[in-house]
């Protein structure tokens, strides 16, 4: 998605977390090297916590927004939870780990965000 839509203003921000089955045990360099094997060219931030008392303030805020709330509570259930945020900084939609960001209904959400710029 980043390669295809970056020119239209799409930014993808990745926040590794090791809170889900210890799937991100590596340090920042190791995580970046692994992401590079998939040609991931989006912004990658430091490893953070997304749930609990030590959750990063950004993730606390995302989960508190009306369109950022989860289906079964607000905690992040697994890696690859995604938030679509418009240019005004509003959470438009929260997507679960199994939601493929390349499917048409998610791409349509991107276009709807751009239409109102």
Tell me: the pLDDT tens digits for 21-56?
Answer: 888 888 889 988 888 888 888 888 999 999 999 999
Residues present in the chain in total: 117
40's tokens: 């991931």
Enter the tokens of residue 89: 């900084």
Contact 46, 27 (CB under 8 A): no
pLDDT at residue 116 is higher than 80: no
For the entire predicted model, the pTM comes to: 0.84
Phi, psi (5° rounding) for residue 41? -115, 20
d(CA 101, CA 1): 8
Q: What is the pLDDT of residue 107?
A: 84
Mean pLDDT of 106-114: 80
**CATH number of the domain encompassing residue 51:** 3.40.30.10
Q: How far apart are CA 66 and CA 47, in angstroms?
A: 26
73 lies in which domain range? 2-115
Sign of CA dihedral 55, 59, 65, 67: negative
Domain count, the chain: 1
Write out the DSSP string of 73-87.
Answer: SSS--STT-EEEE-T
């Amino acid at each position: 998605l980043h390669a295809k839509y970056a020119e239209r203003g799409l930014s993808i921000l990745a926040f590794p977390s090791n809170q889900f089955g210890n799937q991100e045990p590596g340090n920042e360099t190791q995580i970046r090297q692994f992401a590079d094997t998939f040609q991931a060219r989006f912004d990658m931030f430091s490893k953070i916590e997304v749930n609990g008392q030590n959750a990063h303030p950004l993730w606390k805020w995302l989960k508190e927004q009306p369109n950022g709330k989860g289906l079964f509570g607000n905690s992040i259930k697994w890696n690859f939870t995604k938030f679509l945020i418009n240019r005004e900084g509003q959470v438009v939609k929260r997507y679960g780990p199994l939601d493929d960001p390349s499917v048409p209904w998610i791409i349509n959400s991107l276009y709807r965000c751009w239409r109102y710029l």
